[in-house]
Amino acid sequence: MLEWPLVFMAGLLGSSHCIGMCGGFALALGSSSPTLAANLSRQLVYTSGRVFTYSVLGTLAAFGGWRMAAAMPRLVNLPAVLAIVAGGFLVYQGLRSAGWLGRPAKGSASGCLAGSIFSTFLTSPGWSNAFLAGMLTGLLPCGLLYGMLALAASTRNLWLGGAAMALFGLGTAPVMVLAGSGGSLLTLAGRRHLLRIAAWCVVLTGLISIARGCGFLTLEAALVDPSRCPFCP
Amino acid sequence: MTAASARVAVCDYCGLPLPGWGPEPAADDQPRYCCFGCKLAAAITAERGAEGHARSTLTRLGLSVFFSMNVMVFTLVLWTWDAPRPGQLADNPAAGERVAGERAAGSDPAADVFFQLLRYLCLLFSAPVLLLLAGPLLESAWQQLQRRAGVTDLLLVLGVAAAFGYSLVSVLRGSGHVYFEVACMVLVFVTLGRWLEATGKLKTTSVLRSLERLLPDRVRVLRDGEVVELPADQVRAGDTLRVLAGERIAIDGLLVRNQGAIDQQAVTGESTPVVKRPGDRVLSGTLNLDGDLWIEASAAAGSSTMQQVIAAVEQAALRGERYQRLADRVAGWFLPLVLVIAAATFGLHAAWHGWQAGLLASLAVILIACPCALGLATPMALWAALGRACQGQILFRDGDALTRLAATRWLFLDKTGTLTTGLSEVEQLILDPDTPGEQVLQVAAALAAGSSHPVSAAVGRYAARHISRVGSAESTSPLNPSNRISNPCSLAGRGVTGHVESLDQPAWLGSPRWMAELGQQPLAADNHPGAHDDHPGLHGPAEVGPRDDGPLDDHSHDGGGELSQVCLAWGGRVRAVFKLREQLRGEAVEALAGLRHLGCSVEILSGDERRRVDRLARSLGIAAQGDLLPDAKLRVIEHARRQGVVVMVGDGINDAPALAAADVGVAMGSGTDISRHSAAVCLLGNDLLRLPWAIGLARQTVRIVRWNLLWAFGYNSVGVLLAAAGWLNPMVAAAAMVGSSVLVVTNSLRLARFELSPSLPDAGPGA
């Protein structure tokens, strides 16, 4: 159904382009930890909060996709449209981070009202606060996330949608944990290299999603169960 | 402390004024908050300050979000489990939610067990949300009831409790709908929304708090010959304070020892430091750059300039402005109306679809109509604008002035002290050949001391400067104490007079016209060889124009770059003529261009001689009326008011009647003393460019207020209709409420970032 490895890869490599937004949070989170081990576990808890939110969002998106598909079963082939929309989103994001469509805007949550919530959670000690900070981070607007959610919506299955987003979230974990632990294991050149690979990986995921959607569109007649059509006997 | 400068009661978190509360602290010393959100936010802030609070308010909120998200997922699974057939959904999407959570009997038993398990999980995860968040909301509802501020919170709590209670019974019975997700989401959204509002309010008041924080908490005070450090609020008028270099001055006062450069930017916006010498006034909030200053406090703690500014802004915010009063009036009948609609919604839906449907629909009505956005629409914008204005060195004493300023198309400007620098300098002194210069200066200094008028001040300064010069050559005592004046008296439009003891006769300092009225014989010739001339090269003969207007009248002593005359006379003869020059303000041309760019027509109203006023007006390309006595000015303004909103800009003290007659009176350069007059708007600095800026800010404020109100009214009306029709899930209503409030707050906060130094359009030549 889904390109599971690609979803994971999109998270893994795509996350490096999101570090501009979420990396700062991860760093702020780690700043109150005395040791590397404490910081690392705090980062893991933070990441699990994010993965939790992504899964919930994926479930919601899948539910939305299911409801929409149920509401207009024949008129529009919704999964295909969603897959294409998701692909478009991802391609756009990928090209943006690859530098093809101008520099991505530097997002910052500190300017908005929600910023105070984040800073409060990020700097408060305790596991629950780290988890909650991660949970809220997962709600931040992010183009990559929207693309993935559209993908999750196209599954029309709560479990699949949730799992896809969880996988995506897990994919983002390694880079974010590394960024938050302050371990700049990669050189600047290496990071730039990784960034480029990540961007193209996101583009690839998007293209596959679009191709899949187009495939659905042409296979429409064969795939759709005639018993679900309210207009056909 | 006067009533005008009295501080108003403010919320202990966001600093917004609390209507209906006295300024005195609460009897039980409990902190006071304007809303549930502020209380919540204050709790969070306080707990962050204290160490080791594992279960903080914030964690409670966060955990509730976590549990609610779980409940949401379980509910989604329940909804997909036994969804209605697609055909039913297509006919009526809302029906999908109504039947959700209820499962047709007689299907797979294993699935049945899983289904029940999910319902129990929903219960398990939503119970903590109720425990964590309903308590504070209930408390807020109780306070709302006590203050007779409405019943919305109570209804919200009741709705949530009913949704939860019904779902609980359904789970225990094993059949029936569950609405756990509604209860959780409503609680979470309401709490989050209130907190965000409080955070927004805090941001709008941050400017004023930063002003207040400028004042040091502790000061060095001379007590019984020793310098002791005391809290600033214990300073009394008359205390001597020592302020070291680099410290801010806490209290208004007179410099009594040493001198130093003072940075007054925080108060007047003036970026160049001013050197203050003993006898000069220093202002609270200004920064002592390099001197070891000894200052005699002229005001007690709490009544210094900075605090008066803050108090005045608080008063203005409390009184609100007309849009706010409109919103309050509407809210006054909106709330009861909503209650009626909610009750009707409950009744009708309960009759048609069962009482759960009625409960959900009426809960949605209450949520969507909760007039948060309506209540926030104007105060937030107003407060943000007042704070921003303060940052731009403009004090609005009343919110209505802001609205009126935005509507203005007519500006009348006074000339002296407004378009020109009011602080004219004496450039030339022409002496009567038979009167000793020393005596003239002594008498002039003594008379000038009896008036605070800028021209008297200029004469006084000139005399003081030259007495020491003349005195060192001719006499041992620079200022003769026998030159005391008894019965000093200043006559508006004429000058000052008094009985000079050393002469043993009255003397007059004032306009040539007054001298003529008094029958004092004028000087024989203007350019007498005995003249002191400070700047011989600065004035050509063309600029030396005779004038018959006096210095101490209502700002008629002016002239753009021209010389004005002040005569000193006693014993039937004019003894000396002081010639003064004043300059057009450097930024006047640019400011006028800015005003024109805003579509305002500008006219000069001056008591000065028409010819001189006209010449200045022509060079500036604006209309002018000269030769206006104060009551003529009033008539002009009254007449103009019939055509629209009129703004009068002038010197706060001498133009007071004209300022009061206009729709908006703008007092210039009142940074030194805002308590002496009551113009609705004070330019704390002397920068004319602030005038177009203030109008721009006012217009932007009114735009934002109107937009906010339009949004709040539109959103509430449409929302209530949808909710009453039963088309709005309470969760959606709660989320929409948060969104609406955040929108209004964010929109208002744009004012707090209003460009402080806008680029004005190019001022053309002569513009």
pLDDT in the model for residue B269: 67
Domains with residue ranges and CATH for chain B: 36-204 (no CATH), 216-303 (2.70.150.10), 386-419+586-694 (3.40.50.1000), 425-581 (3.40.1110.10)
ipTM: 0.73
Residue of B nearest to A71 (CA): B90
| B644 pLDDT more than 70 | yes
Bigger pLDDT: B133 vs B37: B133
Which residues numbered 166-225 in A keep a CB inside 8 Å of some CB on B?
Answer: none
pLDDT in the model for residue B246: 80
Going by their DSSP bridges, the two strands B425-431 and B240-243 should be labelled as: unpaired
pLDDT in the model for residue B51: 38
DSSP secondary structure letter of residue B520 = P
Task: Read off the pLDDT of residues A108-162 as tens digits, 9 standing for 90 and up.
Answer: 434 445 555 666 677 666 777 788 888 888 877 776 777 788 888 878 888 888 9
- Disruptive mutation site among A128, A136, A155, A224 for chain B (greatest number of B CBs within 10 Å): A128
Q: Are A138 and A52 in contact (CB under 8 A)?
A: yes
Task: Read off the pLDDT of residues B231-278 as tens digits, 9 standing for 90 and up.
Answer: 887 888 888 888 888 888 888 888 888 888 888 777 776 667 788 888
Residue of A nearest to B93 (CA): A71
pLDDT in the model for residue B127: 92
Beta-strand (E) ranges in B235-305? Answer: 240-243, 253-257, 260-263, 274-276, 281-282, 287-288, 293-297
**Would you call A120 and B79 a contact, using CB atoms and an 8 Å cutoff?**
no
Helices B152-173 and B322-353 meet at what angle, rounded to 10? 20
Considering only B484-493, B624-633, B682-691, which range has the smallest mean pLDDT? B484-493
The H or E element that residue B457 is part of is helix B454-474
pLDDT in the model for residue B550: 37
pLDDT in the model for residue B7: 62
Determine the average pLDDT of the residues in B405-422: 82
pLDDT in the model for residue B277: 81
| B107 pLDDT more than 80 | no
A131 touches chain B (CB under 8 A): yes
B746 touches chain A (CB under 8 A): yes
What is the end-to-end Cα distance of chain B in Å, rounded? 45
Confidence grade of residue B47 (pLDDT, cut at 50, 70, 90): low
Q: Which residues of B touch A116 (CB under 8 A)?
A: 199
CA–CA distance, B81 with B275 (Å, rounded to integer) = 81
Residue of B nearest to A126 (CA): B54
pLDDT in the model for residue B5: 45
CA–CA distance, B499 with B482 (Å, rounded to integer) = 12
Determine the average pLDDT of the residues in A82-87: 78
| B306 pLDDT more than 90 | no
Q: What is the CA radius of gyration of chain A?
A: 19
Q: Is B570 left (phi over 0), alpha (psi -120 to 50) or beta?
A: beta
Torsion, Cα of B411, B412, B415, B420 (10° steps)? -10
| B724 pLDDT more than 80 | yes
**Would you call A56 and B199 a contact, using CB atoms and an 8 Å cutoff?**
no
The residues near A47 (Cβ < 8 Å, ≥ 6 apart) are: A134, A169, A172, A173, A176, A177
**Would you call A113 and B200 a contact, using CB atoms and an 8 Å cutoff?**
yes
Percent of chain B with pLDDT over 90: 5
Helices A36-71 and A143-155 meet at what angle, rounded to 10? 50
List the catalytic residue out of B239, B252, B414, B687: B414
pLDDT in the model for residue A178: 75
> Residue A59: which of B58, B73, B203 has the nearest Cβ?
B73
Q: Is B3 left (phi over 0), alpha (psi -120 to 50) or beta?
A: alpha
CA–CA distance, B384 with B403 (Å, rounded to integer) = 14
Task: Read off the pLDDT of residues A147-199 as tens digits, 9 standing for 90 and up.
Answer: 788 888 878 888 888 998 898 888 888 877 877 776 545 556 666 676 677 67
**Would you call A126 and B54 a contact, using CB atoms and an 8 Å cutoff?**
yes
Task: Read off the pLDDT of residues B539-581 as tens digits, 9 standing for 90 and up.
Answer: 332 233 333 333 333 333 333 345 577 888 888 888 888 887 7
pLDDT in the model for residue B3: 40
Q: Nearest 5°: phi and psi at B655?
A: -100, 10
Determine the average pLDDT of the residues in B718-730: 88
Determine the average pLDDT of the residues in B134-148: 82
Task: Examine the residue annotation and report whether B398 is marked as an active-site residue of this protein.
Answer: no
**Would you call A59 and B76 a contact, using CB atoms and an 8 Å cutoff?**
yes
**Would you call A67 and B59 a contact, using CB atoms and an 8 Å cutoff?**
no
> Residue B59: which of A67, A132, A162 has the nearest Cβ?
A132
pLDDT in the model for residue B19: 62
pLDDT in the model for residue A57: 92
pLDDT in the model for residue B699: 93
Q: What is the DSSP string of A101-145?
A: TSPPP---STTSTHHHHHHHHHHS-SHHHHHHHHHHHTTS--HHH
**Would you call A132 and B65 a contact, using CB atoms and an 8 Å cutoff?**
yes
Instruction: Kindly state the tokens that stand for B143.
Output: 């306070």
How many CB atoms within 10 Å of residue B120? Answer: 12
Bigger pLDDT: B269 vs B130: B130
Task: Read off the pLDDT of residues B12-30 as tens digits, 9 standing for 90 and up.
Answer: 777 766 666 555 555 556 6
pLDDT in the model for residue A18: 62
The angle subtended at Cα B27 by Cα B23 and Cα B29, nearest 5°, is 90
**CA B1 to chain CA centroid, nearest Å:** 20
Going by their DSSP bridges, the two strands B260-263 and B623-625 should be labelled as: unpaired
Task: Read off the pLDDT of residues B151-206 as tens digits, 9 standing for 90 and up.
Answer: 778 888 888 888 898 899 989 988 778 889 888 988 988 888 887 777 777 777 77
Considering only A211-215, B80-84, B701-705, which range has the smallest mean pLDDT? B80-84
Bigger pLDDT: B596 vs B678: B596
| A233 pLDDT more than 70 | no
Task: Read off the pLDDT of residues B752-765 as tens digits, 9 standing for 90 and up.
Answer: 888 877 554 443 33
Q: Are B495 and B552 in contact (CB under 8 A)?
A: yes
